[in-house]
Amino acid sequence: MQIILVVESNRKSASDFKYVNKAIKYFYKRQTNQIKPIFAGGKSNLIKQTKNIELMIKKYKGDSAVIIIADTDIKDTQQNNKLITYCNKYNYKLVWMNKDVEDVFLGKRISNKDKTAEANNYLTKPDSCLDKINLSDDSNKIKEHSSNMLCVFDNYYKRRQR
């Protein structure tokens, strides 16, 4: 199976993908599923990736699943509702990062100019740092510094025993 991850970050920084990919490798057993990222270059561009997604699906010989990784952001209800509608329309899964991916993995907000450096630094930290992060919030009220990431990825991967 092909897992298509649509992330907010751009291809150059790939910051969002770095955090998510590290977590996948840590929490899940090695799978034959291949992960293919699409870098949207901003939250508002997530819903503009349909053609890129369809192209990846056509190129792959087998089943594909699409997972959108999005920051909840503060006071962004309109954009969040557009994402929910978009994912429902195309049967894509939606992973929320509350308030953003850095807030979830680092416990704090990061300025745009420092995001790439912080993501690269995070990759050097021991994997065990992931045990302290709330990635299993399956409630409709996403708690601060949390995500529903593992709840979504559990549908596609088998978890490691920790």
Spatial contact of 73 and 132, defined as CB atoms under 8 Å apart: no
Answer whether residue 8 shows pLDDT above 90: yes
pLDDT tens for 50-85 read 999 999 999 999 999 999 999 988 767 888 999 999
d(CA 18, CA 160) in angstroms, rounded, equals: 20
Pick among 1.10.490, 3.40.50, 2.40.50, 1.10.10: CATH of 2-153 = 3.40.50
Count CA within 13 A, CB hemisphere, residue 44: 2
pLDDT confidence of residue 33: 82
pTM for this model (two decimals): 0.93
Q: Where are the domains of the chain?
A: 2-153
pLDDT confidence of residue 147: 94
Tokens of 7: 């992330």
pLDDT confidence of residue 141: 61
Q: Give Cα separations from 86 to 37, 49, 52, 67, 127 (angstroms).
A: 18, 11, 15, 12, 33
pLDDT tens for 95-152 read 999 989 999 999 998 998 999 999 999 999 988 888 888 999 887 667 788 999 999 9
Spatial contact of 2 and 59, defined as CB atoms under 8 Å apart: no
Helix axes 15-27, 115-123, angle to 10 degrees: 20
Answer whether residue 21 shows pLDDT above 90: yes
